[in-house]
Amino acid sequence: MSEYDHHDDERRKQEPPPEASVHTAKWNPWIWIVPVLAIFFVGYLIVRYGFFGGGDITVRFADARGLDRYSPVRFRGAKVGTVQKITIDDKLQQVVVRISMDAVMDHALNKGTRFWIVEPGLEGGGLGGILGGTYVGIAPGEGEETREFVGQEYAPIVSAPEAGKTVILEAVGVGASIIGAPVQFQGIRVGTVLGTSYDEKRRISEVHAFVVQRFADHVRQSTRFWRSGGLNVSLSGGGVSVGGGGIASLLSSPISFYTPEVLPGAPVANGTRFKLYETEGAAIAASDGPHLTYLMYFAGPIKGLTAGTPVQVKGVQVGRVREVRLRYVPQTASLETPVTIEIDPRKLEIPVTDMTTREELRAQMNDALGRLVVKGMRATLQTSLVLPGAGGVALEMVGAPNTARLVTNSDPPIIPAASGGSGIEGALSAVNDVAARIRNLPIEEIASHLRSTAQRIDTLVNDPAVGESVQRINRSLADVEKVTATARANAGPIVKSLRNAATSAESAAKTIDATATTASKSVEPIVASLRNAAASAETAASRATQLLGSAPKQNYDLSELIKELTRAAEAVRALATYLEENPDSLLKGRGK
């Protein structure tokens, strides 16, 4: 053993032997999260497509129209599938859509099944259509099972979901009525829209509306349908009216119907056709029931008058305008505007029950309106002062009594219309009449005559002969004033003398009548002369008195007065001379 080995043994004895450091690893469970998720996803796919999945199908469309991946497939509002992929075919003519369907629709994937694309928009069911997005609609059909389909460009008509009644609503354009849109009665959802179609022969659109069995009996002959979706703003004779079905109608696009409470008519059969109106007012105006129709003709324009416009009596609405037409009359080569209105007799508190017939109701209403028309009731057009273009019809007492009557020998009866409207329309009509009369005046001819007259007057005024004539007239007036003054001074004594002469003559005549009764035939000429003289004297005295009172105010012919006075004086003088020469003539008579 060497020295180095001895030192190495001592060092080992003095130092402890080294020990190894051991670390124990801890188990982390998060490392298994990824495998677990992978296993769960695989299990979901197995369950989803192995037990509940209906498999993938392919639908070909002419246009995707906003459809994208993961867009839903809906049946009666429920999601039954999902769009998985959208591609273009090799010929670049069609859009190929691969859809993954739920297993619940597996039995519906037949050749008769139809697919279509529903785009968002107000025409797709109100605001709900905008918020819902684009989706694929499906209508199950019959036939063999298949996985290849060709989509339609429009929605088909689906079958009714339960027992009930289906009616066909006709209109020009279906508007926002689509499959699944609600059908309402008095604000309650009672059915749904099954689809729309177009009649090529009649060129009208058709809406197939379904009503559940519970409310099917409310669809009668007098029932009327209208579009009630959204917010309706109308301008009528009463101003602005706002209506609609509330907030719910903004989210959907419902169709509502109205049935009169009395005289609604018999229940209709399945498939009965009705007209689809645009507004509630137009629909109610067209309903029958207790509503009675009347006709009227307005001479002037009927601006703003449409179906559904209210008809008022003393400010109370009693009906609506049903129809407004424009007709050409070839016999007179003129245009007329027949306006048909409907009046509810119940608004006039005329009793109406289910036992009342329309004939009895018509007779009562015609009698009431006939009496009012005789008293002066006329149909007038009203115009709002705020909205001049909005028209209305009013029955007002504006005519003269006993100048018109209700025409009952026509169907419907005719209510006479006033010659002019009321309100601003009547004022404008009067102004237009005045303007028309002014236009018809011969203004140029009148102006020409005025110019000619003015020229003649100017020539006459500037003529020197006029001045000379005025001077002569002044001189003549001065002479007349002198004569009048002289007559006024001398007329008094003359009148007094004449009156005395007349009194004496009258007394003489009376004496002769009393004393010469036996000789009346001989005295008659003398008495007649005396009476003539007295009458002449009285006339002269009266005219002289009149002259004294009116001479200062008017020009009087004094020469005629003087002549009359002269003739009276001569007659009296002749009579006096004769009596002086022949006093016995009073008894014997005048000699021949």
Q: Which amino acid is at 75?
A: F
> Using one digit for the tens of pLDDT, what is the confidence trace for 444-481?
788 787 788 777 777 766 767 666 766 766 676 677 67
Answer whether residue 553 shows pLDDT above 80.
Answer: no
Answer whether residue 190 shows pLDDT above 90.
Answer: yes
Rounded to 5°, angle at Cα 44 from 43 and 48:
120
Alpha carbon of 231 to those of 127, 243, 250, 255: distances in Å? 12, 6, 7, 13
Q: Which of 536, 542, 523 is nearest to 571 (CA)?
A: 536
Rounded mean pLDDT of the chain?
76
Q: What stretch of H or E contains 334? A: strand 334-343
Place of tokens 């303007």: 435
- In SS3 terms, 57-126 reads as EEEEECCCCCCCCCCEEEECCEEEEEEEEEEECCCCCCEEEEEEEEHHHHHHCECCCEEEEECCCHHHCC
Mean pLDDT of 151-156: 86
Can you name the residues that pair with 53 across neighbouring β-strands? Answer: 102
Tokens read off for 104: 């619940």
C-alpha–C-alpha distance, residues 53 and 46, integer Å: 9
Of the two residues 131 and 289, the one the predictor is more confident about is 289
C-alpha–C-alpha distance, residues 422 and 418, integer Å: 9
Answer whether residue 362 shows pLDDT above 80.
Answer: yes
Lowest-confidence segment of 182-191, 233-242, 307-316, 489-498 by average pLDDT = 233-242
Answer whether residue 184 shows pLDDT above 60.
Answer: yes
Residues 145-169, buried b or exposed e (16+ Cβ, 10 A)? eeeebebeeebbebebeeebbbbbb
Of the two residues 443 and 283, the one the predictor is more confident about is 283
Q: Which of 240, 275, 246, 257 is nearest to 126 (CA)?
A: 246
pTM: 0.56
- In SS3 terms, 484-532 reads as HHHHHHHHHHHHHHHHHHHHHHHHHHHHHHHHCCCCHHHHHHHHHHHHH
Tokens read off for 289: 């029931």
Residues 6+ apart with CB under 8 A from 326: 335, 336, 337
Q: Can you give the pLDDT at residue 575?
A: 63
β pairing state of 273-277 and 224-227: parallel
Answer whether residue 49 shows pLDDT above 90.
Answer: no
- In SS3 terms, 386-410 reads as CCCCCEEEEEEECCCCCCCCCECCC
> Using one digit for the tens of pLDDT, what is the confidence trace for 227-283?
886 555 555 444 555 555 555 555 567 899 999 988 888 899 999 999 999 888 888
Answer whether residue 356 shows pLDDT above 80.
Answer: yes
Rounded to 5°, angle at Cα 64 from 63 and 68:
170
Residues 6+ apart with CB under 8 A from 401: 374, 375, 376
C-alpha–C-alpha distance, residues 63 and 153, integer Å: 9
Q: Can you give the pLDDT at residue 452?
A: 80
Lowest-confidence segment of 21-25, 153-157, 160-164, 408-412 by average pLDDT = 21-25
Residue 442: cis peptide before it, omega within 30 degrees of 0: no
In terms of average pLDDT, the best of 5-19, 38-52, 366-380, 492-506 is: 366-380
Q: Can you give the pLDDT at residue 224?
A: 93
Mean pLDDT of 543-566: 54
pLDDT-based confidence at 556, cuts 50/70/90?
very low
